[in-house]
């Protein structure tokens, strides 16, 4: 059968092998491999396939970001009883394209007293981690760039890189508002990465593995035939804490201190214009999607869902993952239009005095329950 | 730990200063140690212009003071002239005046609450508020063709009678507004983050509020039940059943709640006015109370001559504008132009207390407190 390898999941663990399998199924892989082998350059073929997977990921992220900017406006418009973008394309779907064209056409301004090198570097430093986070994210069965054995640790570590770029941008702009915003963003990121990691550890205790694929596989199946075995039901407190901390990580209202436009103009990217500004936008929405995907992976069963006969699992799992992730994204957008921003000291108080103790408590209780054999 | 003082210049171009206002902030970290308010960027010399124009020509300038609520501005000036020259006004005109002023109070509070919420990061309320404001502005447009600068209330009455189809539209608006205020309360009041940001922030006690000359919702939020509509009833307010809304806490939340309550009271007043609007004209007995020049008896205004020379004298008349006490002092020397026009604007007096209130708070609190003081820069700088 054409897709025989796709059901079993034994031979395929990531997108690289998926591509090889597809090529084999079509019947061209051996020929191509032979051509490269005759020149003694198999590694070039490997490199090409890896680059193709990365290009697909990159394209996916860019399209997603464009869609998310449109969706953000539409959700806001729904909440605020207006239409949102309607003119460019069907229901304004092409609005992000127009925005991109406009931003490319803008003058690239560097403030006179800015630190030019750091100022130019910072937007790219923001963008790179936002893309890198996607590497161990399972979009579906075997739809993963690389199933790292330390996947979850990698994700948390990469997310923790984003404050560096924010601080650099805030500092290099040589502007009091950007500096204040950068300081706030760093304080916020540090205090919310901790509960994020601590709640994720509770899940790792249940699965015994940091690999995202293992975490998703541990959530397959159901209890009593109806309740899916998602970790949200085993770890409700951890889910709530993770949700709050991840919204803080994304830097969205009610925790959008990186921006806080009514206090600090536009936050740390006040001085940026043109494509560099677009870079920050791109990074922000890529991060939104990535964090939502991580939340889905850890607590909402990842790509697990009812198996439909006749359709390859690769496709159904991708659909389930995208649907769940967009549900979380929608929640974040809905929240943004409903609640005000909290104050920076209140934010830190909640982070250190409520979130971290609760995360630790959750960890202890989970440990006891696992030892007693109640859980898992 | 030793920290350096940071000087932050907030404004005159800043998203949360509602126009061109500038705060010079001395900061210790995120804490405000001193706040100096610099105003005057929108100064247009309205008071001086008042000395150079005839009495009727000054009227359009009053629209541009507090441009969010122009009807009370019109009325405050007209009331001063009417007191100066003892002009009597037909009863129907007084009803129409109260009607538009209370509608304007609702509009003002919608804008005020909307921009307050937007300043603290929730963008939805301003969209909802402007949705209802738009409907009120349509009513104003039916009335006088203008949406914000009306120039509608004139000495001796109002410019024109209510147009056809106005009352059904008004009733529709009142019915919808009742429901919408509940929506706002559901969106805002039950929000824990909103309470965290508002309660206990920007507190001013009743004594301090009086000493700083606060008026309007800002004063009533401190528990002082001071409402000029009650204390010195003007127009037809003595006939209407309403209460002055006040809250004892004195914080930002109380000031916000006073505005919500006042919108309800305004709806109550509007319903009474709509129900008891008189049809007949009341012939004035004063010397200006002769038939209008066209010869057709008007139900909404007494005759007001083109060349108007009031008797020499002076008058201070005040009303309860949506933002607080709005007073006009006019001195007449018996010529066609006022000798002096002095405007006591509520925004200016309320704003001066702000620099005292925000000491020891943070920048986000400054913005939240500033939002609850409800200031329009056209009214501050005049």
Q: What is the mean pLDDT of chain B?
A: 84
Which tops the pLDDT comparison, A204 or B284?
A: A204
Residue range B209-236, pLDDT digits in tens = 899 888 888 888 888 888 888 888 888 8
CA pair distance A369, A374, nearest whole angstrom: 5
Mean pLDDT within A258-267: 66
The CA angle A96-A270-B128, to the nearest 5 degrees, is 60
- From the CA of B85, how many Å to the nearest CA of chain A? 48
Q: B147: how many CB neighbours lie within 10 A of its CB?
A: 14
Residue range B171-188, pLDDT digits in tens = 889 989 988 898 888 888
Partners of residue B331 on adjacent β-strands:
B314, B340
Domain residue ranges in chain B:
5-381
CB B53, CB B337: distance < 8 Å: yes
Give the domain extent around A311.
92-371
Q: Residue A302: which of A284, A283, A319 has the closest Cα?
A: A319
The overall longest dimension of chain A from CA atoms, in Å, is 66
On whether residue A196 sits in a domain, the answer given is yes
Across the interface, whether the CB atoms of A263 and B364 are under 8 A apart is answered: yes
User: Under 8 Å CB-to-CB from A15, ≥6 apart: which residues?
Assistant: A53, A56, A142, A143, A144, A145
- pLDDT above 70: residue B289: no
Helical packing angle, A176-207 and A236-250, nearest 10°? 150
CB B24, CB B35: distance < 8 Å: yes
- pLDDT above 80: residue A258: no
**A60: three-class secondary structure by DSSP:** helix
Tokens of residue B97, six digits = 């005046």
Residue in B118, B121, B124, B358 to test binding to A, most A beta-carbons within 10 Å: B121
The percentage of residues in chain B with a pLDDT greater than 90, rounded to a whole number, is 9
CA pair distance B123, A336, nearest whole angstrom: 8
User: Under 8 Å CB-to-CB from B151, ≥6 apart: which residues?
Assistant: B59, B60, B63, B74, B144, B159
* B193: nearest CB among A264, A340, A344: A340
**Residue in the block written with tokens 């020499």:** B312
Q: Report the chain A residue with the minimal C-alpha distance to residue B196.
A: A342
Q: Report the chain B residue with the minimal C-alpha distance to residue A335.
A: B122
Tokens of residue B276, six digits = 């008891």
Q: What distance lies between CA B155 and its chain's CA centroid?
A: 19
Length of chain B in terms of residues written: 382
Give me the pLDDT at residue B203, please: 87
Q: B5-381 belongs to which CATH class?
A: mainly alpha
CA pair distance B72, B178, nearest whole angstrom: 23
CA pair distance B275, A333, nearest whole angstrom: 44
Poorest-pLDDT segment among A167-181, B31-45, B71-85, B175-189:
A167-181
Residue in A81, A82, A176, A263 to test binding to B, most B beta-carbons within 10 Å: A263
Tokens of residue A208, six digits = 């015994």
User: Under 8 Å CB-to-CB from A105, ≥6 apart: which residues?
Assistant: none
**B31: three-class secondary structure by DSSP:** strand
Give me the pLDDT at residue A7, please: 40
Output Rg (C-alpha) for chain A, integer angstroms.
22
Q: Report the chain A residue with the minimal C-alpha distance to residue B132.
A: A81
Handedness of CA B259, B265, B269, B275 (dihedral sign): positive
Half-sphere exposure of B145 (CA within 13 A, CB side): 4
Number of structural domains in chain A: 1
- pLDDT above 50: residue B284: no
**Residue in the block written with tokens 């001395």:** B26
Q: Residue B371: which of B113, B130, B54, B51 has the closest Cα?
A: B113
Q: What is the ipTM of this complex?
A: 0.75
Q: At B56, is the pLDDT very low, low, confident or very high (cuts 50, 70, 90)?
A: confident
Strand B157-158 and strand B338-344: pairing? Answer: unpaired
CB B56, CB B154: distance < 8 Å: yes
Q: A190: how many CB neighbours lie within 10 A of its CB?
A: 13
Return the DSSP state at A148: -
CA pair distance B141, B146, nearest whole angstrom: 5
Q: At A375, is the pLDDT very low, low, confident or very high (cuts 50, 70, 90)?
A: low
- From the CA of A178, how many Å to the nearest CA of chain B? 12
């Amino acid at each position: 059968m054409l897709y025989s390898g796709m059901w079993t999941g034994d031979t395929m663990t990531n997108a690289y092998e998926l591509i090889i399998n597809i090529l084999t199924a079509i019947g061209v892989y051996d020929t191509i491999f032979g051509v490269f082998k005759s020149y003694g350059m198999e590694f070039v073929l490997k490199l090409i396939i890896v680059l193709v997977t990365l290009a697909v990921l990159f394209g996916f992220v860019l399209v997603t970001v464009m869609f998310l900017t449109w969706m953000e406006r539409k959700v806001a418009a729904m909440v605020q009883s207006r239409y949102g973008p309607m003119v460019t394309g069907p229901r304004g779907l092409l609005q992000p394209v127009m925005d991109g064209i406009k931003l490319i056409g803008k003058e690239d301004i560097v403030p006179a007293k800015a630190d030019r090198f750091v100022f130019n570097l910072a937007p790219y430093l923001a963008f790179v981690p936002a893309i890198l986070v996607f590497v161990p994210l399972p979009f579906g069965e075997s739809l993963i760039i690389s199933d790292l054995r330390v996947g979850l640790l990698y994700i948390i570590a990469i997310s923790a890189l984003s404050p560096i770029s924010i601080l650099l941008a805030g500092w290099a702009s040589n502007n009091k508002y950007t500096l204040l915003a950068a300081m706030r963003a760093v304080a916020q990121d540090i205090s919310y990465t901790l509960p994020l990691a601590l709640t994720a550890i509770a899940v790792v205790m249940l699965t015994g593995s940091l690999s995202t694929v293992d975490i998703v596989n541990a959530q397959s199946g159901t209890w009593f035939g109806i309740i899916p075995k998602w970790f949200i039901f085993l770890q409700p407190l951890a889910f709530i804490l993770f949700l709050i901390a991840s919204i803080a990580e994304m830097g969205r209202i009610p925790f959008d201190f990186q921006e806080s436009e009514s206090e600090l103009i536009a936050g740390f990217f006040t001085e940026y214009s043109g494509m560099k500004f677009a870079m920050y936008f791109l990074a922000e929405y890529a991060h939104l999607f990535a964090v939502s995907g991580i939340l889905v992976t850890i607590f909402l069963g990842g790509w697990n869902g009812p198996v439909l006969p006749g359709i390859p699992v690769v496709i159904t799992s991708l659909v389930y993952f995208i649907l769940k992730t967009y549900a979380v994204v929608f929640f974040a957008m809905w929240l943004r239009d409903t609640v005000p921003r909290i104050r920076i000291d209140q934010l830190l108080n909640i982070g250190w005095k409520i979130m971290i103790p609760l995360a630790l408590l959750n960890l202890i209780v989970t440990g006891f329950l696992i030892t007693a054999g109640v859980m898992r | 730990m030793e920290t350096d003082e940071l000087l932050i210049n907030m404004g005159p171009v800043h998203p949360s200063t509602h126009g061109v206002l500038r705060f010079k902030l001395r900061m210790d970290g995120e804490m405000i140690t001193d706040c100096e308010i610099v105003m005057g960027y929108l100064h247009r010399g309205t008071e001086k212009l008042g000395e150079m124009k005839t009495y009727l020509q000054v009227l359009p300038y009053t629209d541009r003071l507090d441009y969010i609520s122009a009807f009370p501005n019109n009325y405050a000036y007209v009331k001063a002239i009417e007191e100066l020259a003892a002009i009597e006004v037909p009863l129907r005109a007084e009803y129409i005046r109260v009607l538009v002023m209370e509608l304007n109070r609702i509009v003002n509070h919608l804008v005020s609450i909307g921009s307050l919420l937007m300043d603290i990061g929730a963008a939805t309320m301003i969209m909802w508020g402007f949705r209802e404001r738009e409907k009120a502005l349509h009513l104003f447009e039916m009335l006088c063709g203008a949406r914000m600068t009306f120039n509608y209330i004139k000495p001796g009455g109002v410019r024109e009678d209510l147009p056809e189809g106005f009352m059904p539209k008004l009733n529709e608006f009142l019915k919808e507004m009742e429901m919408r205020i509940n929506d706002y309360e559901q969106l805002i009041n039950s929000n824990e983050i909103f309470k965290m940001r508002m309660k206990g922030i920007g507190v001013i006690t009743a004594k301090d509020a009086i000493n700083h000359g606060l008026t309007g919702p800002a004063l009533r939020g401190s528990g002082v039940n001071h409402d000029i509509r009650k204390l010195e009833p003007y127009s037809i307010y003595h006939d209407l059943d309403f209460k002055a809304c006040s809250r004892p806490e004195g914080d930002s939340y109380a000031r916000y709640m006073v505005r919500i309550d006042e919108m309800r009271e305004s709806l109550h007043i509007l319903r009474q006015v709509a129900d008891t609007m008189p049809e007949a004209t009341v012939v004035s007995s004063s010397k200006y109370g002769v038939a209008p020049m066209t010869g057709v008896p008007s139900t909404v205004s007494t005759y007001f001559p083109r060349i108007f020379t009031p008797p020499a004298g002076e008058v201070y008349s005040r009303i309860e504008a949506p933002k607080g006490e709005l007073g006009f002092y006019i001195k007449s020397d018996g010529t066609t132009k006022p000798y002096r026009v002095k405007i006591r604007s509520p925004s200016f007096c309320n704003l001066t207390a702000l620099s005292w209130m925000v000491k020891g708070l943070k920048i986000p609190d400054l913005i939240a407190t500033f939002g609850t003081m409800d200031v329009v820069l056209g009214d501050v700088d005049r």
